[in-house]
Amino acid sequence: MSTTARITSDLDPFSAEFRADPYSHYAALRALGPVVWLERHGIWAVSHHDTVIAVLNDWQTFSNAGGGGLANYFKEKPWRPPSIILEVDPPEHERTRTVLSRALSPRTLRAIRGRFEEDAATFVAGAVRKGRIDAVPDLVQPYPLKVFPDSVGIEAEGRENLLVYGAMVFGSFGPRTPWYEELMTRAPAVSAWILDHCRRAALAPGGVGAMIYAAADAGELSEDEAAMLVRSFLSAGVDTTIDSIGLTLRALAEHPEQWALLRDDPSLARAAFEEATRYDSSSQSLFRTTTREVEFAGATIGRHEKVMVFLGSAGRDPARWEEPDRFDIRRRTTGQIGFGVGIHGCVGQMFARLEAEVFFQALAAAVDRIELDGPSALRLNPGLRGLSSLPLVLHRAS
Protein backbone atom coordinates (compact mmCIF):
# COMPACT_ATOMS: atom_id res chain seq x y z
CA MET A 1 0.00 0.00 0.00
CA SER A 2 1.37 3.36 -0.92
CA THR A 3 1.85 6.09 1.69
CA THR A 4 1.61 9.17 -0.56
CA ALA A 5 -0.92 11.79 0.59
CA ARG A 6 -4.25 10.95 -0.96
CA ILE A 7 -7.85 12.07 -1.25
CA THR A 8 -9.87 9.80 1.02
CA SER A 9 -13.52 8.96 1.62
CA ASP A 10 -15.38 6.71 4.06
CA LEU A 11 -18.00 5.96 1.39
CA ASP A 12 -19.02 2.30 1.22
CA PRO A 13 -19.95 1.36 -2.36
CA PHE A 14 -21.36 -1.97 -1.16
CA SER A 15 -23.76 -0.52 1.40
CA ALA A 16 -27.52 -0.74 0.93
CA GLU A 17 -27.72 3.06 1.01
CA PHE A 18 -25.18 3.44 -1.80
CA ARG A 19 -26.71 0.75 -3.96
CA ALA A 20 -30.23 2.16 -3.58
CA ASP A 21 -29.11 5.54 -4.99
CA PRO A 22 -25.56 5.40 -6.32
CA TYR A 23 -25.85 8.51 -8.47
CA SER A 24 -25.83 11.11 -5.68
CA HIS A 25 -22.80 9.33 -4.22
CA TYR A 26 -21.08 9.36 -7.61
CA ALA A 27 -21.49 13.13 -7.77
CA ALA A 28 -19.83 13.43 -4.36
CA LEU A 29 -16.96 11.17 -5.47
CA ARG A 30 -16.39 13.13 -8.67
CA ALA A 31 -16.30 16.35 -6.66
CA LEU A 32 -13.53 14.97 -4.43
CA GLY A 33 -11.10 14.39 -7.28
CA PRO A 34 -10.05 12.04 -10.09
CA VAL A 35 -8.75 9.27 -7.79
CA VAL A 36 -10.12 8.60 -4.30
CA TRP A 37 -8.99 6.15 -1.60
CA LEU A 38 -12.02 4.34 -0.11
CA GLU A 39 -10.99 3.75 3.49
CA ARG A 40 -13.60 1.13 4.39
CA HIS A 41 -12.28 -1.41 1.92
CA GLY A 42 -8.73 -0.19 1.30
CA ILE A 43 -9.22 0.34 -2.42
CA TRP A 44 -8.92 3.15 -4.96
CA ALA A 45 -11.85 4.52 -6.94
CA VAL A 46 -12.10 6.36 -10.26
CA SER A 47 -15.42 7.89 -11.24
CA HIS A 48 -14.89 10.41 -14.05
CA HIS A 49 -15.54 9.43 -17.64
CA ASP A 50 -11.99 10.24 -18.76
CA THR A 51 -10.21 8.45 -15.88
CA VAL A 52 -12.47 5.40 -16.20
CA ILE A 53 -11.55 5.09 -19.87
CA ALA A 54 -7.87 5.64 -19.10
CA VAL A 55 -7.81 2.80 -16.56
CA LEU A 56 -9.76 0.37 -18.73
CA ASN A 57 -7.55 1.04 -21.75
CA ASP A 58 -4.28 0.41 -19.87
CA TRP A 59 -4.38 -3.33 -19.23
CA GLN A 60 -0.60 -3.47 -18.82
CA THR A 61 -0.88 -1.39 -15.62
CA PHE A 62 -4.47 -2.07 -14.54
CA SER A 63 -4.82 -5.82 -14.91
CA ASN A 64 -7.84 -8.10 -15.10
CA ALA A 65 -5.84 -11.02 -13.76
CA GLY A 66 -6.24 -9.76 -10.19
CA GLY A 67 -9.95 -10.58 -10.34
CA GLY A 68 -13.06 -8.68 -11.35
CA GLY A 69 -14.18 -7.94 -7.79
CA LEU A 70 -12.97 -6.85 -4.38
CA ALA A 71 -10.95 -10.03 -3.81
CA ASN A 72 -7.34 -9.70 -4.91
CA TYR A 73 -6.23 -12.79 -6.86
CA PHE A 74 -2.62 -11.63 -6.67
CA LYS A 75 -2.86 -12.13 -2.91
CA GLU A 76 -5.53 -14.80 -2.35
CA LYS A 77 -6.90 -17.88 -4.04
CA PRO A 78 -10.22 -17.42 -5.90
CA TRP A 79 -13.25 -19.54 -5.00
CA ARG A 80 -13.30 -21.07 -8.49
CA PRO A 81 -10.76 -21.40 -11.31
CA PRO A 82 -10.35 -17.94 -12.89
CA SER A 83 -12.09 -17.29 -16.18
CA ILE A 84 -9.75 -17.79 -19.13
CA ILE A 85 -11.21 -14.73 -20.87
CA LEU A 86 -12.44 -12.39 -18.10
CA GLU A 87 -9.62 -12.81 -15.60
CA VAL A 88 -6.54 -12.99 -17.80
CA ASP A 89 -4.52 -10.50 -19.82
CA PRO A 90 -2.75 -10.85 -23.18
CA PRO A 91 -1.46 -13.01 -24.70
CA GLU A 92 -3.83 -15.60 -23.21
CA HIS A 93 -6.76 -13.18 -23.41
CA GLU A 94 -6.27 -12.60 -27.14
CA ARG A 95 -6.39 -16.31 -27.90
CA THR A 96 -9.65 -17.02 -26.04
CA ARG A 97 -11.35 -13.76 -27.01
CA THR A 98 -10.67 -14.46 -30.69
CA VAL A 99 -12.50 -17.79 -30.38
CA LEU A 100 -15.50 -16.32 -28.58
CA SER A 101 -15.70 -13.27 -30.85
CA ARG A 102 -15.82 -15.53 -33.89
CA ALA A 103 -18.62 -17.59 -32.34
CA LEU A 104 -20.55 -14.33 -31.70
CA SER A 105 -19.91 -12.88 -35.14
CA PRO A 106 -22.39 -10.66 -37.00
CA ARG A 107 -23.19 -13.68 -39.16
CA THR A 108 -24.19 -15.67 -36.07
CA LEU A 109 -26.36 -12.82 -34.81
CA ARG A 110 -28.11 -12.45 -38.17
CA ALA A 111 -28.86 -16.17 -38.16
CA ILE A 112 -30.50 -16.14 -34.72
CA ARG A 113 -32.39 -12.85 -34.99
CA GLY A 114 -35.55 -14.46 -36.37
CA ARG A 115 -35.74 -16.87 -33.44
CA PHE A 116 -35.23 -14.01 -31.00
CA GLU A 117 -38.10 -12.14 -32.67
CA GLU A 118 -40.43 -15.13 -32.40
CA ASP A 119 -39.61 -15.70 -28.74
CA ALA A 120 -39.91 -12.02 -27.84
CA ALA A 121 -43.32 -11.78 -29.52
CA THR A 122 -44.51 -14.87 -27.66
CA PHE A 123 -43.42 -13.62 -24.23
CA VAL A 124 -44.77 -10.13 -24.84
CA ALA A 125 -48.12 -11.47 -26.04
CA GLY A 126 -48.47 -13.55 -22.88
CA ALA A 127 -47.68 -10.56 -20.67
CA VAL A 128 -50.13 -8.33 -22.54
CA ARG A 129 -52.89 -10.90 -22.08
CA LYS A 130 -52.31 -10.80 -18.34
CA GLY A 131 -52.26 -7.00 -18.34
CA ARG A 132 -51.10 -6.60 -14.74
CA ILE A 133 -47.70 -8.22 -14.24
CA ASP A 134 -44.56 -8.25 -12.19
CA ALA A 135 -42.35 -7.63 -15.18
CA VAL A 136 -39.21 -9.23 -13.77
CA PRO A 137 -40.44 -12.82 -13.21
CA ASP A 138 -43.24 -12.62 -15.79
CA LEU A 139 -41.40 -11.11 -18.77
CA VAL A 140 -37.89 -9.74 -18.31
CA GLN A 141 -36.39 -12.91 -16.84
CA PRO A 142 -38.01 -15.65 -18.96
CA TYR A 143 -37.03 -14.14 -22.31
CA PRO A 144 -33.21 -14.09 -21.91
CA LEU A 145 -33.37 -17.34 -19.96
CA LYS A 146 -34.75 -18.96 -23.11
CA VAL A 147 -33.01 -17.25 -26.01
CA PHE A 148 -29.52 -17.18 -24.49
CA PRO A 149 -29.25 -20.86 -23.45
CA ASP A 150 -30.97 -21.86 -26.71
CA SER A 151 -28.21 -20.05 -28.59
CA VAL A 152 -25.47 -21.69 -26.56
CA GLY A 153 -27.07 -25.13 -26.96
CA ILE A 154 -28.10 -25.78 -23.34
CA GLU A 155 -31.01 -28.13 -22.68
CA ALA A 156 -34.21 -26.60 -21.29
CA GLU A 157 -34.34 -28.52 -18.01
CA GLY A 158 -32.53 -26.93 -15.08
CA ARG A 159 -31.85 -23.52 -16.58
CA GLU A 160 -32.71 -21.86 -13.28
CA ASN A 161 -29.21 -22.96 -12.23
CA LEU A 162 -27.82 -20.30 -14.55
CA LEU A 163 -29.41 -17.60 -12.38
CA VAL A 164 -28.00 -19.06 -9.18
CA TYR A 165 -24.56 -19.46 -10.71
CA GLY A 166 -24.61 -15.91 -12.01
CA ALA A 167 -25.54 -14.66 -8.54
CA MET A 168 -22.56 -16.56 -7.12
CA VAL A 169 -20.15 -15.13 -9.69
CA PHE A 170 -21.29 -11.51 -9.41
CA GLY A 171 -21.93 -11.80 -5.67
CA SER A 172 -18.26 -12.60 -5.20
CA PHE A 173 -17.38 -9.11 -6.47
CA GLY A 174 -18.18 -7.61 -3.08
CA PRO A 175 -17.32 -8.34 0.55
CA ARG A 176 -18.41 -11.60 2.16
CA THR A 177 -21.87 -11.15 3.68
CA PRO A 178 -24.38 -13.51 5.34
CA TRP A 179 -26.45 -13.34 2.13
CA TYR A 180 -23.50 -14.52 0.07
CA GLU A 181 -22.45 -17.19 2.55
CA GLU A 182 -25.96 -18.66 2.44
CA LEU A 183 -26.00 -18.51 -1.35
CA MET A 184 -22.69 -20.36 -1.52
CA THR A 185 -24.16 -23.35 0.32
CA ARG A 186 -25.71 -24.15 -3.06
CA ALA A 187 -22.37 -23.92 -4.86
CA PRO A 188 -21.47 -27.63 -5.00
CA ALA A 189 -24.72 -28.72 -6.67
CA VAL A 190 -25.03 -25.70 -8.96
CA SER A 191 -21.37 -25.74 -10.00
CA ALA A 192 -21.66 -29.44 -10.81
CA TRP A 193 -24.68 -28.74 -13.04
CA ILE A 194 -22.83 -25.92 -14.80
CA LEU A 195 -19.71 -27.99 -15.41
CA ASP A 196 -21.74 -30.92 -16.67
CA HIS A 197 -23.57 -28.68 -19.16
CA CYS A 198 -20.35 -27.14 -20.44
CA ARG A 199 -19.19 -30.52 -21.74
CA ARG A 200 -19.18 -31.08 -25.49
CA ALA A 201 -21.67 -33.96 -25.24
CA ALA A 202 -24.18 -31.79 -23.38
CA LEU A 203 -24.34 -29.06 -26.05
CA ALA A 204 -26.67 -29.09 -29.03
CA PRO A 205 -25.12 -28.96 -32.52
CA GLY A 206 -24.93 -25.57 -34.23
CA GLY A 207 -24.91 -23.45 -31.09
CA VAL A 208 -22.30 -21.09 -29.70
CA GLY A 209 -21.04 -23.84 -27.40
CA ALA A 210 -20.45 -26.18 -30.34
CA MET A 211 -18.62 -23.39 -32.17
CA ILE A 212 -16.26 -23.03 -29.21
CA TYR A 213 -15.53 -26.76 -29.27
CA ALA A 214 -14.84 -26.48 -33.01
CA ALA A 215 -11.95 -24.22 -32.04
CA ALA A 216 -10.64 -27.02 -29.85
CA ASP A 217 -10.87 -29.39 -32.82
CA ALA A 218 -8.83 -26.88 -34.81
CA GLY A 219 -6.13 -26.82 -32.13
CA GLU A 220 -6.84 -23.29 -30.90
CA LEU A 221 -7.96 -24.50 -27.45
CA SER A 222 -7.68 -27.63 -25.38
CA GLU A 223 -10.83 -29.60 -24.58
CA ASP A 224 -10.69 -28.34 -20.98
CA GLU A 225 -10.22 -24.75 -22.12
CA ALA A 226 -13.24 -25.01 -24.39
CA ALA A 227 -15.34 -26.13 -21.41
CA MET A 228 -14.01 -23.22 -19.34
CA LEU A 229 -14.79 -20.74 -22.12
CA VAL A 230 -18.36 -22.03 -22.36
CA ARG A 231 -18.59 -21.66 -18.57
CA SER A 232 -17.35 -18.07 -18.72
CA PHE A 233 -19.90 -17.20 -21.39
CA LEU A 234 -22.71 -18.79 -19.37
CA SER A 235 -21.72 -16.96 -16.19
CA ALA A 236 -21.65 -13.55 -17.90
CA GLY A 237 -24.52 -13.73 -20.36
CA VAL A 238 -27.76 -14.20 -18.42
CA ASP A 239 -27.93 -11.96 -15.34
CA THR A 240 -26.39 -8.96 -17.08
CA THR A 241 -28.93 -8.99 -19.90
CA ILE A 242 -31.88 -9.60 -17.58
CA ASP A 243 -30.83 -6.67 -15.41
CA SER A 244 -30.13 -4.39 -18.38
CA ILE A 245 -33.52 -5.07 -19.97
CA GLY A 246 -35.27 -4.66 -16.62
CA LEU A 247 -33.64 -1.31 -15.91
CA THR A 248 -34.44 -0.11 -19.42
CA LEU A 249 -38.08 -1.10 -18.98
CA ARG A 250 -38.27 0.72 -15.65
CA ALA A 251 -36.75 3.86 -17.17
CA LEU A 252 -39.31 3.78 -19.97
CA ALA A 253 -42.17 3.23 -17.50
CA GLU A 254 -40.95 6.13 -15.37
CA HIS A 255 -40.72 8.39 -18.43
CA PRO A 256 -43.98 7.89 -20.35
CA GLU A 257 -43.04 10.53 -22.93
CA GLN A 258 -40.02 8.40 -23.84
CA TRP A 259 -42.18 5.29 -24.09
CA ALA A 260 -44.49 7.20 -26.43
CA LEU A 261 -41.50 7.98 -28.68
CA LEU A 262 -40.55 4.30 -28.81
CA ARG A 263 -44.14 3.14 -29.32
CA ASP A 264 -44.50 5.49 -32.27
CA ASP A 265 -41.11 4.55 -33.71
CA PRO A 266 -39.96 1.04 -32.73
CA SER A 267 -36.72 1.60 -34.67
CA LEU A 268 -35.62 3.57 -31.59
CA ALA A 269 -35.39 0.32 -29.59
CA ARG A 270 -31.61 0.05 -29.87
CA ALA A 271 -31.19 3.74 -29.01
CA ALA A 272 -33.45 3.32 -25.97
CA PHE A 273 -31.32 0.45 -24.71
CA GLU A 274 -28.09 2.42 -25.25
CA GLU A 275 -29.44 5.45 -23.41
CA ALA A 276 -30.70 3.30 -20.54
CA THR A 277 -27.29 1.62 -20.31
CA ARG A 278 -25.71 5.06 -19.94
CA TYR A 279 -28.42 6.29 -17.59
CA ASP A 280 -28.72 3.26 -15.28
CA SER A 281 -26.32 0.48 -16.21
CA SER A 282 -26.55 -3.01 -14.78
CA SER A 283 -22.73 -3.02 -14.64
CA GLN A 284 -22.13 -0.12 -12.29
CA SER A 285 -18.52 -0.95 -11.51
CA LEU A 286 -15.53 -3.11 -12.42
CA PHE A 287 -12.25 -3.80 -10.68
CA ARG A 288 -8.71 -3.70 -11.93
CA THR A 289 -5.50 -4.52 -10.02
CA THR A 290 -2.23 -2.69 -10.55
CA THR A 291 0.77 -4.65 -11.82
CA ARG A 292 3.25 -1.97 -10.69
CA GLU A 293 3.42 1.26 -8.73
CA VAL A 294 1.99 3.98 -10.92
CA GLU A 295 1.42 7.74 -10.84
CA PHE A 296 -2.13 8.22 -12.06
CA ALA A 297 -4.16 11.45 -12.13
CA GLY A 298 -2.12 12.92 -9.30
CA ALA A 299 -2.15 9.84 -7.06
CA THR A 300 0.55 7.27 -6.37
CA ILE A 301 -1.01 3.82 -6.52
CA GLY A 302 1.09 0.92 -5.29
CA ARG A 303 1.65 -2.47 -6.88
CA HIS A 304 -1.12 -5.06 -6.56
CA GLU A 305 -3.70 -2.57 -5.29
CA LYS A 306 -7.37 -2.76 -6.26
CA VAL A 307 -8.96 0.03 -8.31
CA MET A 308 -12.76 0.25 -8.44
CA VAL A 309 -13.87 1.68 -11.76
CA PHE A 310 -17.34 3.23 -11.67
CA LEU A 311 -18.97 2.80 -15.08
CA GLY A 312 -22.25 4.09 -13.66
CA SER A 313 -20.61 7.34 -12.62
CA ALA A 314 -18.97 7.76 -16.02
CA GLY A 315 -22.43 7.54 -17.55
CA ARG A 316 -23.61 10.51 -15.49
CA ASP A 317 -20.46 12.64 -15.67
CA PRO A 318 -21.50 16.20 -16.63
CA ALA A 319 -18.05 16.74 -18.12
CA ARG A 320 -19.01 14.21 -20.81
CA TRP A 321 -22.81 14.39 -21.05
CA GLU A 322 -25.20 17.32 -21.35
CA GLU A 323 -27.92 17.04 -18.69
CA PRO A 324 -26.63 13.59 -17.67
CA ASP A 325 -29.51 12.92 -15.26
CA ARG A 326 -32.07 13.27 -18.05
CA PHE A 327 -33.26 10.07 -19.76
CA ASP A 328 -33.67 10.78 -23.48
CA ILE A 329 -33.76 7.96 -26.02
CA ARG A 330 -32.98 10.43 -28.82
CA ARG A 331 -29.66 11.32 -27.23
CA ARG A 332 -26.47 10.58 -29.18
CA THR A 333 -24.92 8.03 -26.84
CA THR A 334 -21.61 7.57 -28.66
CA GLY A 335 -19.09 7.09 -25.87
CA GLN A 336 -21.37 5.38 -23.36
CA ILE A 337 -19.30 2.65 -21.70
CA GLY A 338 -21.84 0.58 -19.78
CA PHE A 339 -20.40 -2.54 -21.41
CA GLY A 340 -16.84 -1.54 -20.57
CA VAL A 341 -14.15 -0.44 -22.99
CA GLY A 342 -10.74 -1.60 -24.14
CA ILE A 343 -9.60 -5.18 -24.72
CA HIS A 344 -11.73 -6.44 -21.83
CA GLY A 345 -14.94 -4.76 -22.96
CA CYS A 346 -17.89 -7.17 -22.85
CA VAL A 347 -17.32 -9.67 -25.66
CA GLY A 348 -21.03 -10.52 -25.78
CA GLN A 349 -22.30 -6.95 -25.87
CA MET A 350 -23.68 -7.20 -29.41
CA PHE A 351 -25.53 -10.35 -28.40
CA ALA A 352 -27.11 -8.46 -25.48
CA ARG A 353 -27.92 -5.50 -27.70
CA LEU A 354 -29.71 -7.80 -30.14
CA GLU A 355 -31.74 -9.42 -27.37
CA ALA A 356 -32.77 -6.01 -26.05
CA GLU A 357 -33.52 -4.45 -29.44
CA VAL A 358 -35.79 -7.32 -30.45
CA PHE A 359 -37.49 -7.35 -27.04
CA PHE A 360 -38.35 -3.64 -27.04
CA GLN A 361 -39.46 -3.67 -30.67
CA ALA A 362 -41.91 -6.45 -29.80
CA LEU A 363 -43.11 -4.57 -26.73
CA ALA A 364 -43.57 -1.32 -28.68
CA ALA A 365 -45.67 -3.12 -31.28
CA ALA A 366 -47.99 -4.66 -28.69
CA VAL A 367 -48.29 -2.10 -25.88
CA ASP A 368 -49.80 1.37 -26.11
CA ARG A 369 -49.02 2.50 -22.57
CA ILE A 370 -46.98 1.22 -19.61
CA GLU A 371 -48.21 2.09 -16.13
CA LEU A 372 -46.23 1.62 -12.94
CA ASP A 373 -48.28 -0.49 -10.53
CA GLY A 374 -46.21 -0.09 -7.38
CA PRO A 375 -42.60 0.41 -6.31
CA SER A 376 -39.85 -1.59 -7.94
CA ALA A 377 -37.34 -3.54 -5.82
CA LEU A 378 -33.60 -3.86 -6.32
CA ARG A 379 -31.93 -7.27 -6.54
CA LEU A 380 -29.44 -8.10 -3.80
CA ASN A 381 -26.15 -8.56 -5.64
CA PRO A 382 -23.04 -6.38 -5.16
CA GLY A 383 -21.68 -7.12 -8.64
CA LEU A 384 -24.71 -6.04 -10.65
CA ARG A 385 -27.51 -3.51 -10.45
CA GLY A 386 -30.85 -5.07 -11.26
CA LEU A 387 -34.44 -5.48 -10.19
CA SER A 388 -36.18 -8.31 -8.38
CA SER A 389 -39.61 -6.79 -8.92
CA LEU A 390 -41.20 -4.29 -11.33
CA PRO A 391 -45.02 -4.17 -11.02
CA LEU A 392 -46.58 -2.86 -14.24
CA VAL A 393 -49.87 -2.59 -16.05
CA LEU A 394 -49.52 -3.09 -19.81
CA HIS A 395 -52.23 -1.40 -21.88
CA ARG A 396 -52.74 -3.24 -25.15
CA ALA A 397 -52.15 -1.42 -28.42
CA SER A 398 -55.33 -0.95 -30.44
Amino acid 280: pLDDT = 97
Alpha-carbon dihedral sign for residues 379, 176, 279, 241: negative
Amino acid 2: pLDDT = 46
Residues of the chain with confidence (pLDDT) below 70? 1-5, 79
d(CA 81, CA 86): 11
Q: Which helix (H) or strand (E) holds 286?
A: strand 285-290
β-strand partners of 290: 62
Other beta carbons within 10 Å of 32: 15
345-395 pLDDT, tens digit per residue, is 988 899 999 999 999 999 999 999 999 999 999 987 888 999 999 999 999
Amino acid 82: pLDDT = 79
- 96-112 burial, b if ≥16 CB within 10 A, otherwise e? bbebbeebbeeebbeeb
64-84 pLDDT, tens digit per residue, is 999 989 999 999 887 677 788
